[in-house]
Structure 1
Amino acid sequence: MESQLRLKSRQGRWVVVAAALGSGMAMLDGTVVNVALPSIGRDLDASLAQLQWTLNAYLLTLAGLILLGGSLGDRYGRRRIFVLGVCWFAAASGLCAIAPTIDLLIAARALQGIGGALLTPGSLALLQASFHPDDRSAAVGAWSGLGGVATAVGPILGGWLVSGPGWRWIFVINLPVAVLVGVLTLRHVPESRDEQATGRFDVPGAVLAALALGGVTYALTAAGGKVTAAVWVSAGAGVLLGAAFVAVERRSPQPMMPLELFDSRLFSTINLVTLGVYGALGGVFFFLQVQLQTVAGFEPLVAGVAFAPVTVLMLLLSARSGRLASRIGPRLQLTAGPLVAAGGVLLMLRIGPHASYWADVLPAAVVFGVGLTALVAPLTATVLAAVPVHRAGIASGVNNAAARAAGLLAVAALPLLTGLSGDQYQVPSSVDSAFRTAVGICAGLLVASGLLALVTVPGRPPTPTAEPDSTWYCGTTGPPVDPGHERPGSTV
């Protein structure tokens, strides 16, 4: 039975707050950890590879399990799985906060990713299932706007915590937020599920996807030190497991990633554009914080605030960007956006020893932000327009997983490609040299993505098979997740 909550009702407002706080908690951890990496490395005597895994352990389990998390909510109850994800995420955050060694921190971060995979798709699914159809777009717009605020506040809060009480507090702060989210959800959010769900889950597909990504990621990360037999074995296993994943998805009656989606040329190419764009983003944000703190000498708080203009621009202009694409077609913005963003990345070459925020950092942040603002909303809308309406949810989920996987692989591969390894992340000259190489690679990824869009994306406005639920697009770690359903009789 479909819920009929109205956004203006007291209960409706609390539902939006609960969903936004839950997803915001996961967004916050996706941004604040970058700011804390240099401090974590010094405190726990970590190598660069271990710092990479501090990010990648989270991204690996999140990317591998996020589609499965949405399916579990459909079958067993979206509120139940959302609350489970919040509790899991909080428990893992507590383990992160008390981790005495870098290896235990990495393990706790992997557990955090599992919690994120349960709560991230569930936060939007709660809104879709709870609100009257006339209020869903407004509810998701409010949710997305609040999520944008969390994205903007994350680096600032992280910088303040790292500079003040210490990096462990970036995880401690999740605990009271999780308690609040759990109480609000249980008190105000109605339970919902898909009555047509069969209970079958593509567990083999999820496991193979995670193991394939893990094998390739380990090989890229370990190769930064020395190419050993274990590196080759891991790389080979990752490739073979990836091939096994494709075979399983082809034969599964309910695949996690239906391969027929890629029969659409537009869907295939727009996901390639996503891989390039979000791979560049992952690489830029990984190296940027180390460059700002180790080379430019910025305090963590200042480094965290440095690129806040990017999120501010997206908050202010993303809705206009989405409307423009719907009028003129997405090709112009999906071509110009990555090219402008690449220009912003190249401006980061000005960030070096004794860099000035106003002269060297802010111009790069503004140009980079303008480029992202131009491309993110049309990118998500084009994914939805590339498939029939009843497949919009899974298409958006696949695109989100692609974005997460791109960031994961970029963080694993770029230190190898730039020659940075061991404890060189603490040596300003080594970091500066690697940063400049990484900037060139990331700018090249963005340029390639823009050119690919130029030759593959239609210039006319797409025929919308699924309207986006919101014109706010604030996330830079991954596109919005739309956990809609394929079955026409769905309650969502």
Structure 2
Amino acid sequence: MTTQQLTTARAPGAASTDRHGWVLALMSAAAFMAVLDTLVVTTALTTIQHAIRATPEQLGWTVNAYTLALAVSILPAAALGDRYGRRRVLVVGLTLFSLCSAACALAPSIGPLIAARAAQGVGAATVMPLTLAILGATFPPAQRGRAIGVWGGLTGLAVAAGPLIGGAVVQGLGWQWIFWINVVLGVVLVPLIVRHVPESRGPGGPLDLPGLALVALGALGLVWGLVRGNASGWTSPEILTALLGGAALLTAFVLWELRTRTPMLPMPYFRSRAFSAGHAAGFLMTASLFGAVFLMAQYFQIVGGDDPLAAGLRLLPWTATPMVVAPIAGNLSDRIGERWILASGLALQAAGLAFVALTAGTSPSYAALAVGLVAAGVGISMALPTVQTVILGAVPPSGIGKAAGSSNTFRQLGGAFGIALALALFTHYGALESPARFAAGFRPAVAALAVLSLLGAVAGACAPSRSGSLVTGGALTSPGDRVADGVAADARRQQADADE
């Protein structure tokens, strides 16, 4: 077995310190690129609308097409990475993402742009779960929190830099360059990943094609309903069919996964307290975060009268904290456990958002708002890396790819839910027509997002203090953990058979 053919179970012990550094840097850079793309595009929407003469509904589909394709493709991408090699599938995904970014930049009208954005979402779906799975396969449990903290810090930097880069690029170079940036990054990253990142796989076995189809169509139905609900009406036939159909398909997915001998996502994992609590906390965390980011950028522009670049600067007390705090939180989780860092982080984010909701008005004091933004920023910085460590630590090495895929799918669904909830409350209580009407809708929407973050803190507090028992062989804390340990043992035996 060559170095490039390392399996998931052996990668942590065999990789050198130098290799660890390369893996951490390249996986963090790839995640940075994917997150940056989402943020810079949102700042350019108005400019794109005027440049290619798109209607507001068409413009919305440049975001919806990407979101739908991303949510549908995450779990299949993780499964393909387990089956054919995580590095290989990541390289294919990054290449597709870069090529489609070029297609976006060259799009002459709204139709080709929407199509390219959908294909770009498929490529992006490989990045978050597979970079996370590769980190989990490379770093042993004692170092995993620190590594994921750095990874989370770089994604936090993308969140912080996204509005600034987007505003500066659109104003200085043109909207097409927000996509050409991805092409440049892809050209640099792909050959470096091929050279320096070891290959890793999950357990052998046939690909679960029925499971792939059920989860993809189910996620499509749910996300379609969430992103279209406010525009079409929550009781319209379109939305009810999408939501109920998506829920039915995901129920069928669970039933199928319980029956099949080679599940894409072993359902007994959810009997682990850490696995279930981590997914619930991740869903609520992302719902709160995405909804708040969506509203805050518009608040400073509509109520405060800022341009996109100035609005991005005002968000820095919130968005810049992850690159400082997340690595520290990841390091602390390795030392003292994840539960209270995760729970206290989401509680702090809830307190920060609640303070913003109370102090926001038509003539806000930025100093007062900044207090809430800093609190929310520190809180999300504590939670972002820790929730990933909780989930990855609850499964055996062979299940890391599946866990990363399911975690990112839950987070995408949470993001769509958070934005839909924020928009529903905003449109019920306020409107875009004036600063006063915007502030009237902004306050209850942000207050509801604070409640979601608080519920996430409760979910985080339900996790065990340390979630690495399945990986390290330590004592289990519940009957559900013992069931998951049996699944882990079976997975390890499958991995050993595959190695032979």
Match of 2:443 in 1: 436
Structure 2: stretches of 5+ with no match in the other structure: 4-13, 473-489
Aligned AA for 1:55?
Answer: V
Tell me the equivalent position of 2:221.
215
Partner of 2:482: none
Aligned to 2:475: none
Q: Residues of 2 paired with 1:393 and 1:63: CA distance?
A: 16
Confirm or deny: 8 A CA contact 1:339 1:447 kept in the other structure.
yes
- Distance across 1 between alignment mates of 2:395 and 2:22: 33
1:308 and 2:316 matched: yes
Q: Can you list the C-alpha shifts for 1:352-391, whole angstroms capped at 9, x where unaligned?
A: 445454x144222211112223333432333234445553
Q: Please give the alpha-carbon distance, in whole angstroms, between the structure 1 residues aligned to 2:216 and 2:426.
A: 26
Per-residue deviation, 1:125: 5.5
**Are 1:380 and 2:388 matched, yes or no?**
yes
Matches within 5 A, 1:8-87: 8=18, 17-40=25-48, 53-87=61-95
Relative to structure 1, the CA distance from residue 43 to residue 214 in structure 2 (aligned partners, 3 Å threshold; closer, same or farther) is farther
- Residues 233-277 of structure 1, C-alpha deviations (whole Å, 9 max, x = no match): 333322322222223322333222221111223422332222111
Shift in CA distance, 40/461, structure 1 to aligned 2, threshold 3 Å: same
Counterpart contact for 1:49–1:222, Cα < 8 Å:
no
CA–CA distance in structure 2, aligned partners of residues 49 and 409 of structure 1: 19
* 1:152-191 correspondence runs (5 A): 152-186=160-194, 188-189=195-196
Note closer, same or farther for the CA distance 1:217–1:149 as it changes in structure 2 (3 Å cut).
Answer: closer
Could you tell me whether the CA contact under 8 Å between 2:318 and 2:373 is conserved in 1? yes
Where 1:161 maps in the other structure, the secondary structure is helix
CA distance in 1: counterparts of 2:392 and 2:288, whole angstroms: 23
By how many angstroms is 1:439 displaced? 0.4
Q: Which one of 258, 274, 277 corresponds to residue 266 of structure 2? A: 258
Q: CA deviation at 1:151?
A: 4.1
Partner residue, 1:404: 412
- For 1:232, the equivalent position in structure 2 comes to 240
Q: Does 1:268 align with 2:276?
A: yes
Residue identity matched to 2:470: T
Of residues 292, 297, 301 in structure 2, which corresponds to 1:289?
297
**Shift in Å at residue 98 of structure 1?**
3.6
Name which of structure 1's ranges 139-148 and 111-120 shifts more when overlaid on structure 2: 139-148
Q: What displacement does 1:461 show?
A: 4.7
Counterparts of residues 334-345 of structure 1 (less than 5 Å): 334-345=342-353
Distance verdict in 2 for CA 1:219–1:194, change over 3 Å: closer
Paired with 1:113 and 1:370, the residues of 2 have a C-alpha distance of 29
**Corresponding letter in the other structure for 1:217:** V
In the other structure, the counterpart of 1:475 is none
Q: 1:49–1:221: 8 Å Cα contact kept in structure 2?
A: no
Residue 99 of structure 2 corresponds to 91
The alpha carbon displacement at 1:432 in A equals 3.0
Q: Normalised by the size of structure 2, how large is the TM-score?
A: 0.79
Residue 232 and residue 447 in structure 1: after superposition, are their counterparts in 2 closer, same or farther (change >3 A)? same
- Give me the whole-angstrom Cα distance separating, in 1, the residues matched to 2:138 and 2:156: 22
In the alignment, which residue of structure 2 is the partner of 1:205?
A: 211
Structure 1 stretch 159-168 or stretch 290-299: which is displaced more? 159-168
Corresponding residue to 2:470 among 465, 470, 474: 465
Between the aligned partners of 2:162 and 2:49, the Cα distance in structure 1 is 20
For the Cα contact (< 8 Å) 2:258–2:266, is it kept in 1?
yes
- Tell me, yes or no, if the aligned pair for 1:297 and 1:354 is still in contact at 8 Å: no
| Aligned equivalents of 1:133, 1:330: Cα separation in 2 | 12
State the percentage of identical aligned residues: 34
Q: 1:147 to 1:337 in 2, by over 3 A?
A: closer
The structure whose residues are more often helix, as a share, is 2
- Deviation string 1:284-339 (CA, Å, 9 cap, x unpaired) is 11122222222222111122233333354333333443454455554433333222
Cα separation, partners in 2 of 1:412 and 1:205, compared to 1, 3 Å: farther
Q: 1:144 to 1:221 in 2, by over 3 A?
A: closer
Deviates more, 1:256-265 or 1:52-61: 52-61
Contact 1:314 1:372 in 2 (8 A): yes
Counterpart residue number, 2:457: 450
- Residue 455 of structure 2 aligns with an amino acid whose one-letter code is A
Residue 242 of structure 1 aligns with which residue?
250
* Rounded Cα–Cα distance in structure 1 between residues aligned with 2:368 and 2:132: 38
For normalisation by structure 1, the TM-score amounts to 0.80
Task: Letter of the 2:451 partner, please give it.
Answer: G
Map 1:129-144 to 2 at 5 A.
Answer: none
Shift of 1:83: 2.5
Distance in structure 2 (CA, Å) of the matches to 1:426 and 1:43: 23
